[in-house]
Structure 1
Amino acid sequence: MQIVPICHWLYTRVPQSLLRRIEAANFIKTVRFVSEHSPFYKEAFRRRGIRAEKVRSPADLGDFYTTAEDIRTSPESFICRKPDTAFETTGTTSARPKRVYFSRSEIREAGWSGAVGLWGIGVRPEDRVASAFDYSFWVSGPVLAASCEALGAFHVEAGRLDPAEFYERLKDYRISVIVGDPSWIVRLAEIAKEKGPWPVKLLLGGGENLTEEARAFVEGVWKADFFLSYGQTEAFGAIGLESRAKEGYHLNEFHNFFEIINPDAGGWGELVYTTLNRRTMPLVRYRSGDLTRFLPPKGYPVRRIEKLKGRLDEWTPTAMGNIAPWMFEPFFKKVDGVDGDWQIVVAKRGTKDLIEFHVETANGHETLQSQVFEAFRREWPEAWRVVEMGVFLMSVCPHAKGSLKTGRKLRRIVDRRDFTQ
């Protein structure tokens, strides 16, 4: 008997009242568990006078939250049971990545959850799935492999190959489902448009946002649906997945308790979640840093969230990876032609991310672009390899010295992409 379709049937029909009771009970269990087993939460609760046995809901924790800096500073202090593996987050550009620990049983459970989501968008045991996720310390590939195992579907892991090589090597596999970073999938679609697509059932992207223009381009080339998932390593992969209607992410409320804090008049605020089924490194009220808002249930009893509006912190997800201002301060000091302020603008050129380096220079700019590009290649060779793949574009925009800062403070990274279009 196929268990996954039965689980999906239950997922689509569980009464909301029952789901809320399950969430509340598991929230209480998680808070009590970490208060007994996690050195971090033991000390944090002690300092704040929080008595775990009195906690019945997030409101009882007041303004207590777990932050990214907490994990980055001392990940081992969160561990409650002996871990079997670990993954890292923030991509390859971070000097201090966040490390999150898991057990093998938690990987299997995440696989079952992912399999239910894959079933919902149409993946079946007879499908052949190819993944191009980066396997280096990243959770997405292993969770997808576990999901395909639970589903009983064929799965091949290509890693983040150059899309041109992926196309040539995978075209004879009779692949029906392609999974990878959205920007990578856009580049693969460009190659398929030139050389000819093969028949696929659907494509699935995760790890960054995507404009609707880019989605339409990919779907037009492959003549198939392109779905998006949303997740974080801290949540062990997928937090939510689009349905076939592509109207927001349906949340995994069986494994996480979600809140949106500090909402504005339109309901937009920061997504916060508590893991409900993890015992190796559970997290209580973790601040995701992502801005979104709740949508009413539609098609499923679980809640939905909008596509992300942005981030509260300085990290900006791009096809290059996650970028932050501190990365570029020492970088530009190594470029001889840069003399003064700088600003990074993330835009779109067609369907691709365009990273614009706006820099002040006092000595002309005839060779400035080549200098910046060469310094970039030395500083971030992996990101440069992605440029060479054609996944994203870069340009250098010179400015007169003293001209970039027009107000009291220069915003170092400006994201001009519109993901609603």
Structure 2
Amino acid sequence: MNRWLIRRVIKASGFRSGYRIPWNWKLGASLYNKESFKKTYREEAFKLILREVSRKSKFYREHLERYNLKNVKTPEDLGDFFTYPEQLESHSEDFICQKPDIYFETSGSSGKPKRVGFTYEDFLLLAFSTAQGFEKMGMEKNDLYLNAYSYGIWVPGLIIQNALGMLGVPAIPVGHQKAEVIFEKILTYKPSIVGILPSSLIIITKLAEEYNSELPKIRWFLTGAQHIPTKTKEWIKSVWNADVINGYGATEFGGTFAMECEEGKGYHFNDLMFWVEIIDPDQKGYGELAVTTLAFHSMPLIRYRIGDITRFVHDSCHCSLGTEKIDYILGRKDDMFKAAGNNLYPGYFSKAVVEGVFLGVEIDTREGIDCIRIRVTEGSKTDLKKLDTFILDTIEKGEIIVETKFESLDSRIRRKIPKLIDLRPR
């Protein structure tokens, strides 16, 4: 590679030189929109990571020995081989290719918390990718970011903090506090951007409605972990005059894996760092999300089936991010349940929530009929007419009962909330 070109790419990146980001990723970022480069880069990165895990990871060495890796050029070439969360949960040390410099844990919403390790270089790449996304979304050095994500063993707080440092954006590291504390800090520091969980955002917006003085001028809220309906976003914007941008992520992928843009047509993901597949798609394109990490040195994952149901979004998007997209998460594969002879996901019922936060569904029986309660935060509004036609027909026939159940946010202490609670007798 031409050294002069490498130096030009590094110099053009604009990030602080104190952070050691490998030149090849800066080069990749500069050539990102060239489709031919992207295809070649991903294929070469996949072959490289496949060789690494087959030599250094005990788990992959044992599971990939039946393949002639010289003939494997894409993840699909591995056929029926996948990596599953329970394997990572039970034998996380067998996935290690390089000694981790830092560990994070999953929330444990789908089982026992999983430990995921990253090298310092992995960590910086995640921060660099996050900084890139922030910059494309319009974040500037004169912004002030209030970070209300946890700085504990959960990944977002520290990744975002380092991304802000790369951009030279000052931060207020509030951490995951009570909503009243976050609201007080917003009034005190007057940030222009706030990173916050949706449940806390709902509460501080209610506090803002009751506040009698002028509110700080916030440009946008960055949220994640729970889906926010469009009507709720509109309500938040009417109170704060600020946009709400939702993210989707998993600790296994280094935190925020994909992000909405201002057009709100799904989640953009970094397709240089992640190879995404949709497994066994149905007629509408929905299937299980499988992700191969292309950049991590410590614990790379090959065809990791996280269990979330989504699909690719192929409609045009004119935002500044310009990367591939997946749709909003319909539900988890293990959250699929049967009611009135139908295979259903909690995500089907989120469509009824026009204002507030959708928490999931609770299923019970009443006089032999399945009763589905749509769990929402207190003060939410629902409209059952917005449900899919086949669900409305089933309700009309008296084959299922659908109700709304309001729950207090204050009792929620977990970062992720189970989307399915099945109380039916086994």
Under a length normalisation based on structure 2, what TM-score does the superposition of the two structures give? 0.74
Deviation at 1:94, TM superposition (A): 6.5
Contact 2:357–2:377 (8 Å) recurs in 1: no
Distance 2:416 2:224 in 1: 16
Q: Give the Å deviation of 1:3.
A: 2.4
Per-residue deviation, residues 104-161 of structure 1 (Å, max 9, x unmatched): 2211111110011111222111111011112332111111111111111011221111
Describe the superposition over 1:187-216 as per-residue Cα deviations: whole angstroms up to 9, x where unpaired.
111111211531111111012222112211
Per the alignment, residue 404 of structure 1 pairs with none
Q: Which consecutive residues of structure 1, in runs of 5 or more, have no partner in the other structure?
A: 329-341, 355-382, 394-409, 415-421
Corresponding residue SS for 2:189: coil
Q: 2:140 aligns with which of 106, 119, 124?
A: 124
Q: For residue 284 of structure 2, give the secondary structure of its aligned residue in structure 1.
A: coil
Mean Cα deviation higher: 316-325 or 217-226: 316-325
What is the rounded CA distance, in whole Å, between the counterparts of 2:416 and 2:256 in structure 1?
A: 24
* Structure 2 residue corresponding to 1:237, chosen from 244, 255, 261: 255
Q: CA deviation at 1:232?
A: 0.7
Distance change (3 Å), C-alpha of 1:293 and 1:160: same
Q: 1:153/1:32 Cα in 2 relative to 1: closer, same or farther (>3 Å)? A: same
- Is the partner of 2:244 in helix, strand or coil? strand
The residue that corresponds to 1:108 in the other structure is 124
Q: Name the stretch that deviates more: 272-281 or 160-169.
A: 160-169
The answer to whether the 8 Å contact 1:164/1:188 transfers is: yes
> What is residue 185 of structure 1 aligned with on the other side?
201
Q: Distance in 2 between matches of 1:277 and 1:303?
A: 17
For 1:291, give the aligned amino acid.
I
Distance across 2 between alignment mates of 1:9 and 1:246: 26
Aligned residues: 354
Q: Which amino acid aligns with 1:227?
A: I
In structure 2, list runs of 5 or more residues that go unmatched.
1-10, 16-24, 337-345, 351-355, 364-369, 383-406
Q: Distance in 2 between matches of 1:245 and 1:411?
A: 33
Give the AA of the match of 1:33: E
- The AA in structure 2 aligned to 1:307 is Y
Q: Determine whether 1:412 maps to 2:422.
A: yes
Q: CA deviation at 1:217?
A: 1.5
Displacement of 1:72: 0.6
For residues 152 and 144 of structure 2, the distance between their equivalents in structure 1, rounded to whole angstroms, comes to: 23
Distance change >3 Å, CA 388–CA 90, structure 1 → 2: closer
Matches within 5 A, 1:114-193: 114-193=130-209
**In 1, distance between residues paired with 2:119 and 2:381?**
36
Deviation at 1:343, TM superposition (A): 8.5
- Give the structure 2 partner of residue 375 of structure 1: none
| Identity of matched residues, % | 28
Q: Classify 1:306/1:9 alpha carbon distance in 2 versus 1 (closer, same or farther; 3 Å).
A: same
Post-superposition shift, 1:7?
Answer: 6.7
CA–CA separation in structure 2 for the residues paired with 1:12 and 1:202: 29
Write the letter of the residue equivalent to 1:242: E
Does the 8 Å CA contact 1:183/1:353 hold for their aligned counterparts? no
**CA separation in 2, counterparts of 1:147 and 1:353?**
36
Are 1:36 and 2:55 counterparts?
yes
**Counterpart check, 1:308 vs 2:341:** no
Alpha-carbon RMSD across the aligned residues, in angstroms, is 3.7
* Structure 1 residue 174: Cα displacement: 2.5
The 8 Å contact of residues 8 and 116 in structure 1, kept in 2 or not, is answered as no
- Give the residue type in structure 2 aligned to 1:267: G
Give the corresponding residue for 2:87. 70
- C-alpha distance in 2, partners of 1:344/1:137? 35
Please show how residues 336-351 of structure 1 align to structure 2 within 5 Å: 345-349=373-377
Q: Do the aligned partners of residues 392 and 187 (structure 1) sit closer, same or farther apart at CA in structure 2, a change above 3 Å counting?
A: farther
Q: Distance in 2 between matches of 1:132 and 1:262?
A: 37
Contact 1:128/1:177, CA 8 A, preserved across alignment? yes
Q: Tell me if structure 2 keeps the 8 A contact 1:320–1:386.
A: no
Report 1:3-402 matches (<5 A): 3=13, 14-46=33-65, 49-91=66-108, 96-195=112-211, 196=213, 197-296=215-314, 298-299=317-318, 301-314=322-335, 345-349=373-377, 386-387=410-411
Aligned partners of 1:283, 1:392: CA distance in 2, in Å?
A: 22
**Cα distance in 2, alignment partners of residues 227 and 8 from structure 1:** 28
1:385 is displaced (CA, Å) by 8.4
What's the TM-score once normalised by structure 1's chain length? 0.75
Q: Would the aligned equivalents of 1:248 and 1:307 in 2 still touch at CA under 8 Å?
A: yes
Cα distance in structure 1, aligned partners of 2:152 and 2:259: 23
Q: CA deviation at 1:306?
A: 1.1
Q: Quick one: distance in 2 between partners of 1:43 and 1:190?
A: 54
- What SS does structure 2 have at the residue aligned with 1:172? helix
Distance 1:128 1:213, change over 3 A: same
Structure 1 residues 10 and 77 mapped into 2: Cα distance closer, same or farther (>3 Å)? closer
Rounded to whole Å, the distance in 1 between the matches of 2:57 and 2:335 is 29
Report the 3-state secondary structure (helix = DSSP H, G, I; strand = E; otherwise coil) of the residue aligned with 1:108.
Answer: helix
> Counterparts of 1:42 and 1:51 in 2: how far apart (Å)?
12
Residue 63 of structure 1 aligns with an amino acid whose one-letter code is D
1:269–1:388 distance in 2 versus 1, CA, 3 Å? closer
